């Protein structure tokens, strides 16, 4: 990352030093926020509701018409 700050040549050295310290502090605060966000994102990445793996809950029942007659197999209604 590159940061360019344009300041007038007439700016006193003390004020320039103060501005640089303010910018450094803001960058440190942003880095802390980013680190916190990144660690929270890792927790969310492991959440199965956020990133559902469609193959994970799949089970081969061996019933060929399960999709068509799932109500029959789950609730006992008549087959279609």
Helix (H, G, I), strand (E, B) or coil at 63: coil
Nearest 5°: the CA angle 38, 40, 45 is 90
pLDDT of residue 1: 65
2 in a domain, yes or no? Answer: no
What are the structure tokens assigned to 20, written together?
Answer: 């640089």
Residue 5 inside a domain? The answer is no
Query: Total domain count for the chain?
Result: 1
> Residue 77: pLDDT above 90?
yes
Q: Is residue 2 over pLDDT 90? A: no
Residue 66 covered by a domain: yes
pLDDT of 8 reads 87
pTM, to two decimals: 0.41
pLDDT in tens, 20-66: 899 889 888 888 877 766 665 555 566 666 666 666 666 778 888 98
Q: What is the mean pLDDT of residues 17-22?
A: 90
In a domain, 39, yes or no: yes
| Most distant CA atoms of the chain, gap in Å | 88
The answer to the question of residue 62 being in a domain is: yes
Range of the domain at 53: 13-75
Residues with Cβ within 8 Å of 79's Cβ and at least 6 positions away in sequence, in order, are 65, 69, 72
């Amino acid at each position: 990352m590159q940061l360019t700050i344009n300041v007038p040549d007439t700016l006193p050295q003390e004020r320039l030093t103060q501005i640089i310290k303010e910018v450094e502090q803001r960058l440190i605060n942003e880095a802390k926020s980013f680190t916190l966000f990144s660690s929270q994102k890792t927790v969310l990445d492991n959440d199965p509701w956020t990133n559902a793996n469609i193959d994970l809950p799949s089970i081969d029942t061996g019933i060929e018409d399960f999709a068509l007659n799932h109500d029959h197999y789950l609730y006992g209604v008549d087959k279609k």
